């Protein structure tokens, strides 16, 4: 007899209600309780993505949830990923591979053909685990796009999963959003919702209790817990993240990440936030840029489009001025491509015209990039080569990460930044990245996402920036980023246990629908 996991679905009254974090927390609790648990989200729209050991691309939210569950991420956990390329179009990735770029209308016209892929991915996952925690997207009450739904209540029906509804009280109107969401569901869908979680609460829960009873009486759905505004450092998704929208205090070492319009994988830089005396700021204008010690140009889903934005906004001129005065400039993936001499797009993929074009780069690195039709998606491990300039202390340090890019970049090997080898392949060690330390320049670039996460790398960078200012920080400790993340997942699980009725949730899970 084929094993089938118990399934539990977590949906939200709106985007950013906290369902990703709640799903991660439940995955951690179930794992701590001895169950083999996996996350699942049929369709994710995000620019933050990850490459699995098999070279498949998936959303980072399910990677975080897999980490919380103590398992390796698999593309089965996120069979469809939409990566926005413009306000009306996205690259569509199915089972880890891009199948094309589509306008919203084009995608909705064909998405019903993807339903079998979603069912197959879920069934395969369910055959390997005890519990599958399914995360919805947006709101289940989006009545304009409910047709052919396999993301929210449609997915719950496919998985035969009871549903928990997460509502954000911090924005106000929580009871109206709970009631409105439930009333907009079809009768059979409403019957599948077995509990409500109120999230991001501040204050005395006793004052809230009359409202909790009233909403239970009006909807017939029990409140299974009230989660406080959690203080955990766990990755969140894309532009909704307070991490990139909040204003940060400028500290002794100031690192500015340029918040380009289609920025991707901003989580590459989270490790710097763990170092005392370091500010990590996301900036969108020359005024906000200020006088940083290091400028990072991150990855992007549209390299040439975001490079044009840098020019039109005046940011390129400001970055060039800083670079020529000795400020460190570091580009990752698309940011690395922008730092070169030129970017060739023979297929017109980036601007969507289908016409060949060449865009001049910023000219800070001696590299040239050409976009090809096949995307490189691979995990890798390696080390820094002979690093020159201010970051010479990085030379020889081991690193790990992954690559997601369509560009092929030519560079002088004597200026390579790293040497890498694909994981789970018998590939040769290859040079990668580039650097320019001529004159006052301290410019570096790499395709490797996660390049700063290896033990001691971020600390070495901060120490070098401090030394440039004639200062040092004796109490800086080498950060084990993996261990830090494990601690944060345990803190999240503790809060889930303390504030949710886990006995009731287990009963819901066991009873099914």
Active site residues: 333, 449
Q: 465 is written with which tokens?
A: 């920036």
Answer left, alpha or beta for residue 339, where phi above 0 means left and psi between -120 and 50 means alpha: alpha
Cβ contact 69:487 at 8 Å: no
225 DSSP β-pair partners: 197, 500
Residue 64 CB coordination number (10 Å): 26
Length of the chain: 513
Q: 464 is written with which tokens?
A: 């070098």
C-alpha dihedral, 352 to 356 to 359 to 363, nearest 10°: 130
Cα-flanking dihedrals φ and ψ of residue 472, to 5°?
Answer: -150, 160
- Chain CA centroid to CA 250, Å: 25
Q: 376 is written with which tokens?
A: 């490189």
- Indicate the pairing of strand 57-59 with strand 49-51: antiparallel
Tokens 């819901």 -> residue? 508
Q: 52 is written with which tokens?
A: 């699995």
- Chain CA centroid to CA 70, Å: 18
- Among 35, 5, 41, 4, CA closest to 23: 41
Apex 38 CA angle, 227 and 499, nearest 5: 15
> Helix, strand, or coil here: 348?
coil
């Amino acid at each position: 007899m084929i094993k089938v996991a118990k399934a539990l679905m977590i949906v939200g009254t709106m985007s950013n209600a906290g369902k990703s974090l709640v799903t991660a927390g439940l995955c951690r609790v179930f794992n701590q309780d001895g169950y083999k648990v996996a996350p699942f989200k049929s369709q994710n729209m995000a620019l933050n993505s990850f490459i699995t050991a098999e070279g498949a691309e998936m959303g980072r939210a399910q990677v975080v949830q897999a980490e919380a569950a103590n398992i390796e991420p698999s593309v089965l956990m996120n069979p469809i990923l939409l990566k926005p390329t413009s306000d009306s179009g996205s690259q569509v990735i199915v089972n880890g591979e891009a199948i094309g770029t589509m306008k919203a209308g084009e995608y909705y016209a064909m998405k019903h053909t993807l339903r079998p892929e979603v069912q197959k991915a879920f069934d395969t996952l369910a055959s390997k685990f005890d519990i599958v925690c399914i995360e919805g997207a947006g709101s289940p009450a989006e009545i304009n796009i409910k047709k052919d739904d396999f993301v929210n209540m449609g997915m719950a029906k496919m998985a035969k999963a009871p549903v928990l509804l997460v509502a954000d009280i911090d924005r106000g109107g929580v009871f109206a959003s709970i009631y409105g969401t439930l009333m907009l569901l079809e009768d059979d869908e409403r019957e599948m919702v077995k509990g409500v979680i109120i999230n991001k609460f501040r204050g005395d829960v006793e004052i809230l209790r009359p409202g909790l009873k009233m909403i239970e009486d009006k909807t017939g759905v029990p409140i299974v817990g009230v989660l406080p505004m959690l203080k955990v450092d766990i990755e969140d998704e894309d532009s909704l993240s307070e991490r990139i929208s909040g204003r940060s205090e400028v500290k002794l070492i100031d690192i500015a990440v340029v918040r380009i319009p289609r920025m991707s994988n901003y989580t590459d830089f989270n490790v710097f936030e763990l170092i005392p005396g370091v500010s990590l700021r996301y900036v969108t204008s020359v005024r906000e840029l200020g006088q940083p010690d290091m400028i990072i140009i991150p990855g992007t889903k549209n390299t040439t489009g975001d490079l044009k934005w840098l020019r039109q906004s005046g940011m390129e001129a400001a970055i060039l001025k800083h670079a020529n005065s000795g400020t460190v400039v570091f580009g990752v993936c698309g940011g690395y491509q922008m730092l070169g001499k030129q970017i060739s797009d023979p297929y017109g993929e980036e601007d969507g015209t289908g016409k060949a074009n060449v865009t001049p780069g910023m000219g800070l690195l001696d590299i040239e990039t050409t976009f090809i039709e096949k995307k490189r998606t691979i995990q890798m491990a390696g080390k820094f080569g002979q690093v020159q300039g201010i970051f010479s202390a990085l030379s020889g340090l081991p690193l790990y990460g992954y690559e997601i890019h369509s560009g092929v970049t030519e560079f002088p090997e004597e200026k390579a930044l790293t040497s890498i080898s694909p994981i789970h392949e018998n590939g040769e060690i290859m040079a990668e990245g580039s650097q320019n330390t001529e004159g006052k320049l301290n410019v570096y670039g790499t395709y490797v996402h996660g390049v700063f996460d290896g033990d001691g790398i971020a600390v070495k960078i901060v120490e070098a920036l401090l030394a440039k200012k004639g200062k040092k920080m004796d109490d800086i400790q080498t950060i084990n980023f993996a261990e830090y993340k494990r601690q944060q997942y345990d803190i999240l699980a503790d809060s889930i246990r303390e504030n949710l009725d886990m006995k009731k949730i287990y009963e819901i899970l066991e009873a099914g629908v």
